[in-house]
A and B are shown apart, each in its own frame.
Chain A
């Protein structure tokens, strides 16, 4: 049997604060992501999607549970080992403009992971130009600053940055929700195109609160509510035959 790219086992995050009851942001979630698969993760604001993703990318330490990337346990690692892991896993953020350093060019940002992995300046520059073109931008965007480009262009650059190191897992944390509808469609088309070109080499974890978008784009969907996974299955099945109250309300609110 094929090995999952990402396997999450009873991942939990409890935020503790003095004088307040403990907050279970993510409550024992488990799921697997197979190579080439696109998994949607939906849920309302505050349902723990972003917390879960931050734990998977190890930007946040989990309270409990294990994260396996490509079969390796990455839950407890740090420093140099963790940096190596980031060559397999990349993320596209919700706010395109803020995901680039305002004082550095887009090209610097896109090439950063390559430079960190020992690429030379000239080779990185060429690769950045190619990446930009693959994401539908001209090569001269490399010398622009984040405030000089539009949200959609910035998100394309962010996708280029995420793909630079050729990761196996791409996490899109509400990558389209800050964009207007037409641009959203373009970005989805771009992601679809990249998926088709890269085939089994790229798995996507697609976090979203728009169930229609998930239906279009994902092979499988997880529904999160109050830190728990309440429902999962093929998007069409979930939409036609929702089992959970929250899922029902979510679908009704759109129809």
Chain B
């Protein structure tokens, strides 16, 4: 390898590391912010002040106030709890459930595999958000039901990845060796298969955080997610969309919040994918 390629590889590796630190820190700050959101608000996010309704951004209210005179900045901060929390919960649920089903199918094989995979094909055949709308519509509104609806349509992707990875692991000599060592099924799955297939699955789930956040906000926007007066970015935008021509800041604030956090999580996912790519490893 020429000196130049080595140097380029080194630079690329360094930038990936810098990006990982940068976006990791930003995502971590967002998380911390959402956990302690109630203590970070400058005003009470649910306090109505009708004399001060639809006020333009000022020193007292940086993002202005909405039609009930509630401080937008405080509402956006408190809204992070609902948005980020439920997104992470959702991604965690689909990762665990999808991986579990996938590994089980790949390991067990036979008719159970066929049945579960055809079911996942059915879910994959529908356009995602439309199906989520239908499920959420049947279950009724509420953040919890929106999470259930999105989880129901998103697990097959993880099941597919986990299944194919498990199938390829199953044929490796070291798994045969593990079986010959007298390890039982559970031990083989938890000690050998899962650690070896977690890489691509974790990358997928990191990349999914941004998408899921947007879809949750989308469901809320359509009135199928968080119910007022709970502050949630999607429903906040929906509440105020009729005011967009007269007091644009009320939609601007939650929109910006969604944009920024989706961006951070997407970039973090991208960076983790680059980092996990063996081509970027100096070896």
Contact = CB atoms under 8 A, between A and B. Distances in A.
A102 interface: yes
Interface string B208-227: 00000000000000000000
B1 interface: no
B181 A113 contact: yes
Contact of A112 (B172, B173, B176, B181): B181
A87 interface: yes
A93 B178 CA distance: 12
Contacts of B192: 101, 104
Contact of A116 (B182, B195, B196): B182
A47 interface: no
Nearest to A94: B173
B182 A91 contact: no
B173 A102 contact: no
B85 interface: no
Contacts of A192: none
A103 B195 contact: yes
Chain B's interface size range is 10 to 19
B47 interface: no
Contacts of B177: 91, 93, 99-100, 109, 158, 161
A185 interface: no
Interface in A128-163: 158, 161
Contacts of B118: none
Interface string B108-139: 00000000000000000000000000000000
A83 B173 contact: no
A176 interface: no
Nearest to A84: B182
Given A94-B173, A98-B172, A103-B195, A87 B178 contact: no
A109 B174 contact: yes
A10 to B, nearest CB: 24
Contacts of A103: 195-196
Contacts of B181: 86, 109, 112-113, 116, 161, 165
A161 B173 CA distance: 13
A101 B187 CA distance: 13
B180 interface: yes
B182 A86 contact: yes
Contacts, number: 63
Interface string A85-121: 0110111011100111111100001001100110000
B172 A116 contact: no
A18 to B, nearest CB: 14
B176 A113 contact: no
A57 interface: yes
Interface residues of A, number: 27
Contacts of A59: 176, 179-180
B282 interface: no
Contacts of B182: 83-84, 86-87, 112-113, 116-117, 165
Contacts of A93: 173, 176-177
Nearest to B183: A116
Given A83-B182, A161-B181, A101 B174 contact: yes
Contact of A99 (B173, B184, B191): B173
A147 B196 CA distance: 15
Nearest to B172: A98
B187 to A, nearest CB: 8
B107 to A, nearest CB: 14
A177 to B, nearest CB: 13
Interface in A63-96: 83-84, 86-87, 89-91, 93-95
Contacts of A165: 181-182
Given A83-B184, A87-B182, A101-B178, A95 B173 contact: yes
A104 B177 CA distance: 13
A102 B172 CA distance: 11
Q: Of A57, A59, A101, A161, which is in contact with the most chain B CB atoms at under 10 Å from its CB? A: A101
Contacts of A158: 177
A95 B171 CA distance: 13
Contacts of A98: 172-174
13 contacts: A57-B180, A59-B176, A86-B179, A90-B180, A91-B176, A98-B173, A98-B174, A99-B173, A100-B174, A104-B191, A109-B174, A116-B187, A161-B177
Interface of A: 57, 59, 83-84, 86-87, 89-91, 93-95, 98-104, 109, 112-113, 116-117, 158, 161, 165
Given A104-B191, A112-B178, A116-B181, 15 more contacts: A57-B176, A86-B182, A87-B182, A90-B180, A91-B177, A91-B180, A94-B173, A98-B172, A99-B176, A100-B174, A101-B174, A104-B192, A109-B174, A113-B180, A116-B182
Interface of B: 172-174, 176-184, 187, 191-192, 195-196
The 7 closest A-B pairs by CB, nearest first: A113-B181, A99-B173, A112-B181, A83-B182, A116-B182, A93-B173, A86-B182
